[in-house]
Structure 1
Amino acid sequence: MDLPYYEDPGPGLGFEPARTATRSNAPALSLNGTWRFQLRPTAAEPDPGFDADWERSWDEIPVPGHWQLNGHGSPAYTNVRYPFPVDPPHVPDENPTGDYRRGFDLPADWPGPDQGARTLLRFDGVDSCFRVWLNGEPLGHAKGSRLAHEFEVGQLLRPGRNTLAVRVNQWSSGSYLEDQDMWWLSGIFRDVTLLSRPEAALDDHFVHAGYEHATGTGVLSVETSAPATLSIPELGLDRVDPAGPHRIPGVEPWSAEQPRLYDAVLSTPQETVSLRIGFRSIAIEDGVLRVNGRRILFRGVNRHEWHPERGRALDRATMLQDVLLMKRHNINAVRTSHYPPHPDFLDLCDEYGLWVIDECDLETHGFTEVGWRRNPTDDPMWHEACLDRIERTVERDKNHPAILLWSLGNEAGHGANLEAMAAWCHHRDPERPVHYEGDWDSSYVDVYSRMYASHEEVLAIGRREEAPASTPERDAHRRTLPFIQCEYAHAMGNGPGGLTEYQELFERYERLQGGFVWEWIDHGIPQRTPDGTPYYAYGGDFGEPLHDGNFIADGLLFPDRTPSPGLVEFRKVVAPVRIGGTAAGGGGGGLRIDNLYDFRSLEHLAFDWTVEEEGVPVARGTLTVPEVPAGTGVELPLPKVPAAAGESWLTVRATLAEDQPWAPAGHEVAWGQLQLAERPRRTPVPSGSDGSERQDGAALGPARFDPASGVLVRLGGLAVSGPRLDVWRAPTDNDLGGGERSIARAWRRAGLDRMRHRTVSAGPEDGAFVVRSRVAPAATDLGLQAEYRWSLEDGRLRLDLSVVPEGEWDALTLPRLGLRMALPAAFDRATWFGLGPGESYRDTRQAVRVGRFAAPVAQLQTPYVMPQENGNRSEVRWATFLDADGSGLRVEGEPFFDFTARPWTSEDLDAARHTADLHPRDQVFLTLDQAHQGIGSGSCGPGALPQHRLTAGATTFTLLFSEVSAASEVRPS
């Protein structure tokens, strides 16, 4: 049976062979802009005859763009499952089809066939299948949404006005090869360009620019599709034969740290093509990936193309914003998940310096739902399409020095078509290794790649003690390969945790060459509630019958490109400079500065230091650091600092000494802290001569308690509610992840979200006010015995809390352990001395430093796309919560506590599905915690490591409370 073009499993017909993206001086005409558009419900429509009134009666739509984001149809999100029956290569009759049309005027001086010139019509990206007509004549059709296609149109162009028509099908056989974890969005979403190609045009070229690291010699040759000359003025090459090879002593090599590019020109009598050449060599030696002779370590991210309003239709400014954000957050590598990006992005990676794994536009993940039956990557019917996709990836992008590895695709199982793709890559470009994660045997690739391997497994791989491959031969091969975590540390919601422990392994074992956090940005789509409140939508918010919820919001950036706490944490963990040391008493100790760059010395950095006492700066200066080559360190004496009366810390920062292309001078690259003096030990001063003077029924000094429950209700003139023992937190995405193994499910099964309090006793006792209670969930005999012992000390209200678990808690952890209380809403300004300024948890606290910080309560909230536990401040010595007049509550720890301050409760957070669901109440809700369960990355990967889990056990916890008046000062404790 003949198949319609959109169901044919082949790549299409009528387009030109793949070639490199070029910067030519030949004429070009952009056809981007406003087009006319009609959306039809099915693909069974006649060829476009179009009504004569189309330029007025059809809707307008931007190109590049997606029709679902411009008022036609709705976005849909699935991660794995196809949103249509798995019936390859067929697609449903319900196949939304967009007809595009635009007129354009051909410039009068456009070269035509009579001048020996051709004209190509180039589409850089159309999702998912499209047919093209020029002036009513069909040109062909193509699939491969993130791949470039060019059609020869010179004989069809007319002087003056021309009409271009494009029909785009949402579903096609190509959709089976494009099941990436992202929104299903359709349309002409990348550039459309008319390109003049002169006679004997330089349609293609392939730059080979190697670097001999032992001698500093560059070795250059350029393959060209037509005779040409090569000029590189900076290297003294003037109109030489590009084939060479040219041996050039003393070149500066290209690396992600120092992206040295040489401007070059290929010339023919009719055309010049501009090149930017980077000399670098890639080799795998003894199981280690080396560039320019040195082992490199990927500090990488997976990057989908995304803009909240424009989807995958990115402009250059947005791409540059991504690159600058990456560089400023110490990211050195990008995996282009899971398709080749817009070519401008790769130009920016070359220019600013990012290692790139360039991935083919191929994923068939949905075939897992049917046991991989008829998976295209192992079906001969799809052989041509699979090869076409890798060829178009490599040929377009082959001249980018930033690209170190070709990736065959993602989550596409394994099979003969993938093996053929790898063989084609090795033949076409033997200088670059081939990557593919889906076949763990790694029999036809050059690196061993895994997703979400646990710390334990990564340790075994580093030691070359991993589980064997399927055959002894494959096992022997795989053990000679470097290891990369192509996805790890799933950055969904609050997290990821465990970054530090992964980085320690990557740095300890030579075979482990880092990885790529999943992923760069939350794919939220801005929406508003009926009352106008903005929020970001995710899967299911557009009425999709099949969706994967907020799994699309799993990035280090929020949708508006604001860095999340996870990105700030990653920046610190992977910083290329590590600052540490010891601050021993008696003038001993010293600083240690380690250079973790792969190539670069520390000469481009300046170092300064600050000493703070109780969070207040008392001294500062600069640090003279000698040249520190890559991979080495230096020890320095501590700067001379004043003696401290209170807790004091030395902070040393490494900043850019001069402007860099990606950040101005003064930009902070790394920092470290050393404690110089500990917190002075406080000598308690009891208030009053004996207990009888300090207690009176349900009162204790300035404190008043509810006589029935024993709960504190007033402290002097300040109305309060609580504190009471509390263990619940609104589950994070990482708590919720793992299906049946979800830690949040275990908490809910145990009833930790519905704990009830029973007061056993409350009243005066031995000079204190003592409350005993049992806190427990329904339907179980699990419980927590709590004793609150309130006393007066040095004018403050002291709480000594002891907690003893009852019942068989076994492996069940607690979400958190601490106290919850509430203040009037006016007390909405927080100041604290502890870790900050951002949020932190026990396994996400590398990016916070000890200091004194202040913020309105509203700014202590982290607006995760799906609301969840957030905003915790750790290791707090003291905190105040004040109103506009400076009155309120002061809390001190003995020694530390964690806190959150919110205008809503944990239950409100738990119930909310979007930020617009959160409505401030008339109170500020405080949690004052002894500990939290770690964060982990269980949304897709390992949960919190054992050392970061909060197990139930006998616990004591001490806090001191005092009322602050507008005239009082914040006392150091």
Structure 2
Amino acid sequence: MRKIFLIVALVNAMSALAQTRPDWENPEVFAINKENTRSTSIPYATEAQALKNHYSNSPFYKSLNGNWQFYWVDKIADVPKDFYLEENYSDNIKQKWKKGEPNQTSGQSGWTLMPVPGNWEFNGYGIPMYVNIGYGFTINPPFIDRNDSPTGAYRHKFEIPKDWDGRRVYLHFEAGTNSMYVWVNGKKVGYTENSKSPAEFDITEYIRPGSNLLACQVHKFSDGYYMEDQDMWRLGGINRNVYLYTTAQTRIQDFFSLADLDAKYKDGLFSAEVNVQNYTQKAIAQTIEVSIVDKLGKKVFSQNQKVDIASNSISTAKVAGVIKNPLQWTAETPNLYNMIITLRDDQNKVIETTSHRIGFRKVEIKDGQLLVNGKKILVKGVNLHEFNTNTGNVVDSATMIRNIQLMKELNINAVRMSHYPQSPLWYRLCDEYGLYLVDEANLESHGLGQGESNIAYFDEWQNAHLDRMIRLVERDKNHASVIIWSLGNEASNGKAYYAMYEWAKKRDKSRPVQYEQAFWKENTDIVCPMYPSWNQMVDVSKKDIGRPYIMCEYAHAMGNSMGNFQDYWDLIRSSKNMQGGFIWEWYNHGYKTKDEQGREYFAYGGDLYGYNKQNDGNFCMDGIISPDLQYLPHTHIVKKVYQNILFESKNPNSGKVTVINDFKFIPVTPKDHSFKWVLQKNGEQIAEGNFEVTIAADSRQDVQLKLPKIEQEAGAEYYLQVFAYTKNATQLIDAGFEVAKEEFQLTGNNYFVNKSKDGEPVKKFEEGGWKLTFVANGVTYEFGKNDGLRWVNGPGKDYITKFPTPNFWRAPTDNDFGEKAQQKMRVWEAASYLRQTKFDGVDEKNGAYEIRFTVKPVGVEAEVKLVYLVNKDGSLTVDATYRALSDNLPELPRFGFNFELQNRFHNFTWYGRGPWENYIDRKFDTFMGIWKGDVKDQAFAYYRPQETGNKTDVRWLTLTDDSGKGIRIEGGQPLSVSATNYRIEDLDAGLTKKQQHFKDVIPAKNVVLNVDLFQRGVAGLDAWQSPPLDQYRHFGKEYRYNFTLSYIQ
């Protein structure tokens, strides 16, 4: 009995607590007096206005964007009392934060001005906090930390147009911060939670003619924040548009159109359900007309439907029909039609009209594959957060269009809305320009774990989860670009997600639903893992798994990364069910700012007053595009691997090349694309030509190129390079833009042959038993028996300020840190500085001299047999053999030699892969050639300093001053080289990452040259556990290579 009494008492106490909780700590309260979410639309007075669909042209629309009065507090309890009352409003607030002034990070701001849309932290108030996993306060759902609960009070006066009298008026927030109360003229209108979905309120009963006062209390944190633990900057403020719109007492409340295709993917099957709402006290009979207009203005469908609406209720009008052979919508062919919906009264007078662009397309899963319009598509995708380097998560139309332009340049065809619905304008643009979207509910509770302790399993949180899915689908259901719904991200697979899946499948039968945390369970139509291991992928590629396999996140692009991207796609293309994935991610989320010295840099987690707050450092700097929308070194590999025109050749010497059209819906024709081939000999072009092809979608064609005859010649090598370009300019891409390329090495010749080094015999001198001197063709080399090469005189004197020493280390990349390589391999860093050198002897070889040493790194069971050959022509060949003397050595990150030269030798020329940096597992986007650049430009300024500037497959290099003097290095096999102004130790953070930026690294006053046989790949599976693929790592017991140093006079 006692146990039963205690349980009953506990339940009663919890019930009482729920009743006394504030709304913002009550998971069962997430919307008060809020309208149901509907498809984004605005009413217009005429069909002509609706056809253009420019909101500002509607007499029924009024933007409220601008500067609002604002009062910021760091504790919710300190919000000014009754600030929303009209008697407390003043028109005299003029103060506004000025850019460059420090942020207020505690206390109260007093009344000031704040832009709407706008983030507090980018307008003077609060600390921008970047967190990957976690909340920034003690986890105790549904409670927040009331001592750290930033809140903003807003006030804004607005006018109601006179011709809106007698009509209904709605207040629409495209989104707000985590939760918000709304008042109009001192009366509470309602409450909303969900920072990324719209909040709409019917304010008809709260307004009056003329001037009105809108007030909002916006919370950065609430119980809803436990469902918004996304990997992103946590920012406050109203970050999207706010507007009013008005309707008559009967209105088009919502609509759901389906522009499908028949079973033969030929004719369009159109249907629409239009909800008509009647606010009057009597039943009304009205007419809905739905028309479809093509891009030439021709109506291809029109149908009327009478609808009877009872008083204070909603009725649904349904129309349907067949459109013969419509132009179809895909990401490659974004053909759109305007759907116009008009509401007329019983006298046939237009009450209101609205429009939405639609695209005819069918999305389905058949035989374990995702099909669009009957074709298996490849998802060449990327994940996208809302971001602007200057304004936080307030994104304007110019930024959106620039994003789409870059995506098109990089052959990206799909975007996952990570991890929330984004601005409605984005979806309109994706409809227009053609991108496949995975639209995702604003749900992530990563910080609560994946098991049954997650709130997704708790009854009191069920409706809050479902509400977010409903609002996602209802807002975006009419967009052609949305081809998949996603239940959320990293939020466990509690019972809430089964309910969400069931609701979505019932509401919209035209789209699949996916959820990563469902893994292989029944509440996902697509297996959509994130960062599967390589072995897992190989295993899946060999099977028919019965469902599409599309990675929701892969190729984590943090720092110097994106290795093995070509390997990913070689595997994907070999599989039945694998159809691609979404790179993590698009942006490097760094905010442009300046330090105390006025130096610009991109801030990441822990910067901007946030070092003592929970933060995840530079983990937000993990994109393929810079914060200011520029290419990065690893951007190019995305463009190359995602390209839609591919080239193959089994015998490139013959000039026969197969051109593959990887577009699924459009042909490649001379009208749209031009092609060019280039033949190189030893890096220099010796022939070129143009060709044309006509290839149907998803087909291939052989082309015979008219190559010149290739002669067998020692010391020569040939590469055939093929390029495809746009023929015509589009809205986003210029004519002549390179869209695809490939390179083939011709066989039969050997570049690396021994080249004669003639001259007078080398002279040898020995001094004091500890020093050896050799003179060859005017160059003097001095060797110490205890330390090797020490000095050069004659041509080349003082060029080299640090003679070549064995090097096994690189500055750890972010991926190296992720797998703890900086710890596991750290012995090789010491081995590069601490070593013992033993003289092994000297021998004359046909007039040249060979000087032999053994170099033993201290504390590592390995050695380097080092042979210098002073050649008769004055050059010096360095031959190095690495041997492991133990089976227990860690992976060798690098094997090569490190030099330094005077800084005047800043002109860098190399024959190898270029022009940008490349690595053993990220080089297929760079082609062989003779490339030139300045040493100061060879290091990329990664946001956290790390390894940079490498070039692979290098045959030779020169470093010269402006008079042409300098050095030349020629490999006896392909080399891996870099020439920068940064020493390895300057870029090496040590055992743990530092709060450091590239601006903090002081360039060396010398040229730092690395001449290597190899370094490990940069990797690209993830940034927390996975090394490079095995073929890009080095565990061998022995490696040997050589290079020859000579001087340019």
TM-score grouping bracket, smaller chain normalisation: over 0.9
Would you say 1:398 and 2:469 are equivalent positions?
no
Partner of 1:719: 799
- Judged with a 3 Å threshold, the aligned counterparts in structure 2 of structure 1 residues 364 and 717 are, in CA distance, closer, same or farther, namely same
Partner of 1:33: 66
Cα shift at 1:901: 1.2
Would you say 1:629 and 2:696 are equivalent positions?
yes
Amino acid at match of 2:93: E
Residue pair 2:452, 2:494 contacting (<8 A) in 1 also: no
Cα shift at 1:79: 1.0
How far apart are the structure 2 equivalents of 1:805 and 1:547?
Answer: 41
Residue pair 1:412, 1:438 contacting (<8 A) in 2 also: yes
SS at match of 1:790: strand
SS at match of 1:621: strand
Q: Counterparts in 2 of 1:474-873, with a 5 A limit?
A: 479-541=545-607, 542-583=610-651, 588-603=654-669, 604-625=672-693, 627-641=694-708, 646-676=716-746, 678=749, 680=751, 682-692=753-763, 697-701=772-776, 702-705=779-782, 707=784, 708-714=786-792, 716-720=796-800, 721-738=802-819, 742-748=820-826, 752=830, 755-761=833-839, 764-766=842-844, 767-777=848-858, 780-792=859-871, 794-810=873-889, 812-873=890-951
SS at match of 2:93: helix
How far apart are the structure 1 equivalents of 2:856 and 2:476?
Answer: 62
Unaligned runs of 5+ in 1: 466-478, 966-973
How far apart are the structure 1 equivalents of 2:932 and 2:961?
Answer: 13
Would you say 1:902 and 2:977 are equivalent positions?
no
Partner of 2:1019: 936
Partner of 1:439: 518
Q: Counterparts in 2 of 1:297-336, with a 5 A limit?
A: 297-336=378-417
How far apart are the structure 1 equivalents of 2:766 and 2:722?
Answer: 49
Q: Counterparts in 2 of 1:283-298, with a 5 A limit?
A: 283-298=364-379
How far apart are the structure 1 equivalents of 2:218 and 2:458?
Answer: 26
How far apart are the structure 2 equivalents of 1:640 and 1:774?
Answer: 49
Q: TM-score, normalised by structure 1?
A: 0.93
Q: Counterparts in 2 of 1:22-101, with a 5 A limit?
A: 22-25=41-44, 26=58, 27-44=60-77, 45=79, 46-48=81-83, 49=85, 50=88, 52=90, 55-56=93-94, 58-101=111-154
- Judged with a 3 Å threshold, the aligned counterparts in structure 2 of structure 1 residues 300 and 703 are, in CA distance, closer, same or farther, namely farther
Residues 146-197 of structure 1: per-residue CA shift (max 9 Å, x gap): 0000111123233333222111111100100000001111111111111122
Q: Counterparts in 2 of 1:226-237, with a 5 A limit?
A: 226=276, 227-234=287-294, 236-237=299-300
Cα shift at 1:692: 3.4
Cα shift at 1:948: 1.0
Q: Counterparts in 2 of 1:346-425, with a 5 A limit?
A: 346-368=427-449, 372=451, 374-425=453-504
- Judged with a 3 Å threshold, the aligned counterparts in structure 2 of structure 1 residues 864 and 167 are, in CA distance, closer, same or farther, namely same
How far apart are the structure 1 equivalents of 2:365 and 2:331?
Answer: 18
Partner of 1:470: none
Residue pair 2:42, 2:61 contacting (<8 A) in 1 also: no
Residue pair 1:497, 1:936 contacting (<8 A) in 2 also: yes
SS at match of 2:448: helix
- Judged with a 3 Å threshold, the aligned counterparts in structure 2 of structure 1 residues 448 and 961 are, in CA distance, closer, same or farther, namely same
Cα shift at 1:843: 0.8
- Judged with a 3 Å threshold, the aligned counterparts in structure 2 of structure 1 residues 711 and 119 are, in CA distance, closer, same or farther, namely farther
Greater alpha carbon shift after TM alignment, 211-220 vs 430-439: 211-220
- Judged with a 3 Å threshold, the aligned counterparts in structure 2 of structure 1 residues 753 and 261 are, in CA distance, closer, same or farther, namely farther
Cα shift at 1:769: 4.8
Partner of 1:176: 226
Aligned residues with identical type, % of pairs: 32
- Judged with a 3 Å threshold, the aligned counterparts in structure 2 of structure 1 residues 93 and 402 are, in CA distance, closer, same or farther, namely same
Partner of 1:191: 241
Residues 508-534 of structure 1: per-residue CA shift (max 9 Å, x gap): 112111111111111112232321222
Amino acid at match of 1:18: T
Partner of 2:275: 225
Partner of 2:177: 127
Cα shift at 1:391: 0.8
- Judged with a 3 Å threshold, the aligned counterparts in structure 2 of structure 1 residues 104 and 253 are, in CA distance, closer, same or farther, namely same
Aligned residues: 938
Greater alpha carbon shift after TM alignment, 886-895 vs 359-368: 886-895
Partner of 1:260: 335
- Judged with a 3 Å threshold, the aligned counterparts in structure 2 of structure 1 residues 363 and 54 are, in CA distance, closer, same or farther, namely farther
Residues 381-412 of structure 1: per-residue CA shift (max 9 Å, x gap): 11111111011111111111111110000000
Amino acid at match of 2:254: D
Greater alpha carbon shift after TM alignment, 924-933 vs 266-275: 266-275
- Judged with a 3 Å threshold, the aligned counterparts in structure 2 of structure 1 residues 102 and 47 are, in CA distance, closer, same or farther, namely closer
SS at match of 2:400: helix
- Judged with a 3 Å threshold, the aligned counterparts in structure 2 of structure 1 residues 706 and 374 are, in CA distance, closer, same or farther, namely same
Partner of 1:5: 23
SS at match of 2:1047: strand
Cα shift at 1:438: 0.6
How far apart are the structure 1 equivalents of 2:971 and 2:247?
Answer: 74
How far apart are the structure 2 equivalents of 1:228 and 1:496?
Answer: 53
- Judged with a 3 Å threshold, the aligned counterparts in structure 2 of structure 1 residues 674 and 3 are, in CA distance, closer, same or farther, namely same
SS at match of 1:362: coil
Of 144, 151, 156, the residue aligned with 1:103 is 156
How far apart are the structure 2 equivalents of 1:712 and 1:849?
Answer: 37
SS at match of 2:788: coil
Residue pair 1:29, 1:195 contacting (<8 A) in 2 also: yes
- Judged with a 3 Å threshold, the aligned counterparts in structure 2 of structure 1 residues 110 and 817 are, in CA distance, closer, same or farther, namely farther
How far apart are the structure 1 equivalents of 2:922 and 2:487?
Answer: 33
How far apart are the structure 1 equivalents of 2:620 and 2:766?
Answer: 57
Would you say 1:19 and 2:31 are equivalent positions?
no
SS at match of 2:569: helix
How far apart are the structure 2 equivalents of 1:279 and 1:871?
Answer: 47
Cα shift at 1:775: 3.9
- Judged with a 3 Å threshold, the aligned counterparts in structure 2 of structure 1 residues 941 and 622 are, in CA distance, closer, same or farther, namely farther
Residues 643-667 of structure 1: per-residue CA shift (max 9 Å, x gap): 5774332221111122233312211
Cα shift at 1:632: 2.0
- Judged with a 3 Å threshold, the aligned counterparts in structure 2 of structure 1 residues 712 and 249 are, in CA distance, closer, same or farther, namely farther
Residue pair 1:213, 1:292 contacting (<8 A) in 2 also: no
Residue pair 1:605, 1:654 contacting (<8 A) in 2 also: yes
Partner of 2:5: none
Partner of 2:252: 202
- Judged with a 3 Å threshold, the aligned counterparts in structure 2 of structure 1 residues 799 and 793 are, in CA distance, closer, same or farther, namely farther
How far apart are the structure 2 equivalents of 1:581 and 1:675?
Answer: 10
SS at match of 1:188: coil
Residue pair 2:160, 2:208 contacting (<8 A) in 1 also: no
Residue pair 1:232, 1:264 contacting (<8 A) in 2 also: yes
Cα shift at 1:544: 3.3
How far apart are the structure 2 equivalents of 1:730 and 1:34?
Answer: 47
Looking at CA atoms only, which structure, 1 or 2, has the larger radius of gyration?
2
Residues 710-739 of structure 1: per-residue CA shift (max 9 Å, x gap): 23543623421121110110011111113x
How far apart are the structure 1 equivalents of 2:189 and 2:321?
Answer: 42
Cα shift at 1:947: 0.9
Unaligned runs of 5+ in 2: 1-16, 45-57, 96-110, 277-286, 306-317, 344-349
Residue pair 2:649, 2:656 contacting (<8 A) in 1 also: yes
Cα shift at 1:892: 1.3
Cα shift at 1:289: 1.2
